[in-house]
Structure 1
Amino acid sequence: MTVNLKPLAEQVIVITGASSGIGLVTARRAAAGGAKVLLVARSADALGDAVRQINNTGGTADFAVADVGDAAQVKRAAETAIERFGRIDTWINDAGVAIYAKLVDTPEDEHRKLFETNYWGVVHGSLTAVAHLRAKGGALITVGSIGSDMATPLMSAYAASKHAVKGFTESLRIELEGDGVPVSITLVKPSGIDTPIAQHAANHTGAGEAQIPPLIYAPELVADAILHAAVHPQREITVGGSGRAQVLFSQHFKALYEKLAPASTKAMTDPQTPQPPTNLWEAEVNAGRERSGEHTAKEWSLYTAAAMHPRLTSAVIGGTLAGAVALLFARGGKKTD
């Protein structure tokens, strides 16, 4: 089935999780490319600031306050986009929260809340989007994680939710293709990205502030992959060659990965810095930030460029498993900046 997507400048785009990190970067880049954008998140103040900045710099944006774990709120956000801009061409599921804890130490109420946002938020967003897109077509893009493809100790509940997101997204794609519905469905799987997600996480490690596991990439790389998928139908895109290497290593050398992975958790906390308040239950205290402010992120990924342009793939993808082994050993030390 062929899905024809509009040029970015002709699109109306809805983005959840748009008050910080990847969602905020994507909203700003989409608006700079001429798209009309509806930003969705829980923080009215952060959304209002972002929309004013976009509109004051020549873009077109509005916002809707919604908790993606509530289906009714997500539907109202979609109605806001229709009322404000007349239609929806692309829907981006980006809202997400994290917990840093072993599974045996994860409170059940927090575990359930994480799934309400990370999994049910995708379900609510996707089904709402399909209801609006199925007649004329469009793109549905969900931000998963390399954790969709591999176990991740200490971010175990997060990885479990991303596995669920992958299963839902791929099953939905098959069903819609079988029904001839002209909606392109893409799963974007970022590696470690320099956003405030770790600073907003619930943290039960007792080992200081949660950290993003290295190697760490700039959120702009994810935003570019998302917006590429909004124009060019694509099944999935992994952002960051190091993340793809980790996944391949975990899948092909399972026993060795399971022995090495626990040591890698040492790089996932910083004992010198206390953990800020979590955004698990309420809108984040420090919403409005694109990056963590604590890392020097890689601004380029040749692997991701190749993934978005398949003709380059054979020239740049190879030798990733050895890199993954080295990365896992490197994680045993302190965070890399």
Structure 2
Amino acid sequence: MKLKPIEEQVVVVTGSSSGIGLATVRLAASRGAKVFLIARNEAALREAVQGIRAEGGDAAYATADVGDEAEVLAAAQTAIARFGRIDSWVNNAGVAIYAPLLDTPEEEHQRLFRTNYFGTVHGCRTAIRHLRENGGALVTVGSIAGDMPSPILGAYTASKHALKAYVESLRIEVRMAALPVSISLVKPSGIATPIAEHAANHLEGEARIPPPPYDPALVAEAILDCCTRRVREVTVGGVGRAQALFAQHFPALFDRLAPLVAPLLHTDTLPKTRTDNLAKVAADGEERSATEVGKPFSLYTSAARHPGLLAAGLTATALLVYAGTRRRRG
């Protein structure tokens, strides 16, 4: 199966009223794709679509809560009616809770899973229904949190573990059924989006992104890679990848050191956000955090997105080392 160039695609993105989703639809539209936005905030969606059209792009939207499968199915039908097909579907909608697990309200915990986990399930089921005939890409935005535990963000982390397991199991079943669908998992490190400002925050002081945050444009680039070529998974941000490897290989030491991160997840120097988007629509429309600046480059992610260049670089380095060794011996 060969995926289409991005300029020939219709790309659907959930959670596209802010953050990574908004950055992705804007980037895709700037490269010629037709984009369809799905989120709960109609005002933010309308503004985003108007902005894309003003730049010469082709965009449309539908409001939907991804936790409700009927609404996701209806949104997909609207996309089909508008553009005639779907070539790539990106599951991106997500919410967060900042609280110790034992202090996390049950209602909030269930609502988070309804969005982060079941929202992915509903998106995958809907996407494959439309992609199974003509093929395409199904991309899910998970998190590096799905590869390791975390204090304070435990409910969010648990949902990303569940999401990862679902996507990886689905990939096997899609292969068993010989469906022409590429299934990718994108795992961002901490990204400087408004997610902390939008989170249900039970801490003292304003919630913060796990440090060091990266710019959402890096994730958008990785997502579009997955829309145009078969990618199993990619981690965005070398620091997050290093943390996950450390947790995997030295779990006991990681358990002892992880609490040192907890104080970095909130600050008393900023006023605490009084609203969240866990169960209701909050202010949207921004790609980036209002308080934190993300790193604009990740050498690790660039290498992961271009494995051929990485292999060539390693080969060239090895040859240079070998040549230097021969000269010294000569």
Indicate whether the TM-score tops 0.5.
yes
The letter for the 2-side match of 1:73 is E
Identify the residue that residue 114 of structure 1 maps to in structure 2: 112
Identify the residue that residue 183 of structure 1 maps to in structure 2: 181
1:202-252 CA-partner distances (Å, limit 9, x unpaired): 0112x2111001111000000000001100110000000000000001111
Separation of aligned partners in 1, 2:259 and 2:181: 40
More helix per residue: 2
- Please tell me the root mean square deviation across aligned C-alpha atoms, in Å: 0.9
How big is the shift at 1:296?
2.3
Identify the residue that residue 97 of structure 1 maps to in structure 2: 95
How big is the shift at 1:307?
0.8
Separation of aligned partners in 2, 1:187 and 1:160: 16
Max Rg structure: 2
Separation of aligned partners in 2, 1:18 and 1:35: 15
Query: Could you tell me the TM-score, scaled by structure 2's length?
Result: 0.93
Separation of aligned partners in 1, 2:54 and 2:293: 29
Equivalent of residue 298 in structure 2, options 296, 301, 313: 301
Identify the residue that residue 252 of structure 2 maps to in structure 1: 255
Q: How many residues align?
A: 312
How big is the shift at 1:6?
0.5
Within a 5 Å distance, the mapping from 1:280-295 to structure 2 comes to 280-284=278-282, 286-295=283-292
Within a 5 Å distance, the mapping from 1:1-337 to structure 2 comes to 3-205=1-203, 207-276=204-273, 277-284=275-282, 286-313=283-310
Q: Secondary structure at the match of 2:304?
A: helix
1:63-106 CA-partner distances (Å, limit 9, x unpaired): 00000000000000100110000000000000000000010000
Structure 1 range deviating more: 302-311 or 125-134: 302-311
1:177-215 CA-partner distances (Å, limit 9, x unpaired): 01100100000000010000000000112x211100111
Separation of aligned partners in 2, 1:256 and 1:266: 18
Separation of aligned partners in 1, 2:81 and 2:293: 41
Contact 1:303–1:313 (Cα < 8 Å) also in 2: no
How big is the shift at 1:311?
2.4
How big is the shift at 1:313?
3.8
The letter for the 1-side match of 2:267 is D
**Runs of 4+ that moved beyond 4 A:** none
How big is the shift at 1:274?
2.6
Separation of aligned partners in 2, 1:221 and 1:209: 25
1:298-325 CA-partner distances (Å, limit 9, x unpaired): 1011111111111244658xxxxxxxxx
Separation of aligned partners in 1, 2:73 and 2:272: 34
Query: How many percent of aligned residue pairs carry the same amino acid?
Result: 58
**Which runs of 5 or more residues in structure 2 are unaligned?**
315-330
**Which runs of 5 or more residues in structure 1 are unaligned?**
317-337
Separation of aligned partners in 1, 2:97 and 2:55: 36
